[in-house]
Amino acid sequence: MKTDFKKIAVDGVITSNPTLKLVLGTCPTLALTTLAMNGIGMGAAVTFVLICSNVFISLLRNVIPDKVRIPAFVLIIATFVTIVRLVLDKFLPSIYESLGLYLPLIVVNCIILARAESFASKNGPLASAADGLFMGIGFTLALTIMGAFREILGAGSIFGVKLWDFKIEFFASSAGAFFTYALFIAVFGFVSYTLHTKKKIKNYRIKDVSPAETETAKEV
């Protein structure tokens, strides 16, 4: 069966965006989006784990018995999370410290286990890698944009660069995280619904309607 990479990409970033559409991985989303840089760091870590675990699980999908698939998936995911921790601690200690507790918690991130279970265990390695990549991009984009929004309003800076002295402390707080998340879900939902509806109307209009069908419709 031919892999539809375009569909995988659109699904990962927009249609099934893990953060804003599926509402998965909310723990790091709420806790780490105080800064845009945290969003990029966490997003990159999750993307790496997603790609590697998806590929590995996909390669072993015919070997792993169904009854032990979940512990096997968790073993594989935990290994790649540990690798991310080792790499960040060695080369990017500042990001390692800022992500703190949420880095090992990637093991129990619903996005990764969900993709392993629903996609990687049923598809080939290439398609699984693409799924991991685009799901990761969708997650990273959502976290970075939310982080930028909260950083600008809550700290008056962007990526650590000071913009102005004005700041609304509420957006840097936990309550601000929930508010921002709700706001982004609402805006994302509204925009995707509007675009979806417009697309449906457009498809309906360009559909060929035969004169006989039109007459029947008039009589009804």
Burial class (CB in 10 A: 0-12, 13-18, 19+), 160: exposed
- Candidate list 14, 22, 64, 108; residue touching other proteins; CB under 8 A: 64
When the beta carbons of 82 and 157 are compared against other proteins, the nearer one is 82
Residues 11-40 that bind other proteins (CB under 8 A): 34
Size of the site for other proteins (CB under 8 A): 20
Do residues 29 and 181 make contact, with C-beta atoms less than 8 angstroms apart?
yes
- Candidate list 76, 103, 146, 152; residue touching other proteins; CB under 8 A: 76
When the beta carbons of 67 and 218 are compared against other proteins, the nearer one is 67
First to last CA, the chain: 44
C-alpha count within 13 angstroms, C-beta hemisphere, residue 23: 9
| Residue 48 Cβ vs other proteins, minimum distance, rounded to whole Å | 13
3 belongs to the binding site for other proteins (CB under 8 A): no
Stretch that binds other proteins, among 4-12, 71-79, 126-134, 138-146 (CB under 8 A): 71-79
| Residue 61 Cβ vs other proteins, minimum distance, rounded to whole Å | 12
Do residues 36 and 159 make contact, with C-beta atoms less than 8 angstroms apart?
yes
User: What mask of x and - would describe binding to other proteins in positions 184 to 203, judged by CB under 8 A?
Assistant: --------------------
Phi, psi torsion values for 158, nearest 5 degrees? -140, 125
Task: Give the helix ranges, DSSP H, for the chain.
Answer: 5-10, 26-32, 36-59, 69-91, 93-99, 110-115, 125-155, 174-205, 211-219
Residue with tokens 């984009």: 141
- Candidate list 65, 205, 217, 220; residue touching other proteins; CB under 8 A: 65
- Candidate list 23, 59, 70, 75; residue touching other proteins; CB under 8 A: 75
Phi, psi torsion values for 162, nearest 5 degrees? -65, 130
User: What mask of x and - would describe binding to other proteins in positions 83 to 122, judged by CB under 8 A?
Assistant: x--xx-xx--x-----------------------------
Residue with tokens 């540990």: 82
Do residues 143 and 29 make contact, with C-beta atoms less than 8 angstroms apart?
yes
- Contact residues toward other proteins (CB under 8 A) are 34, 60, 63-65, 67-68, 71-72, 75-76, 78-79, 82-83, 86-87, 89-90, 93
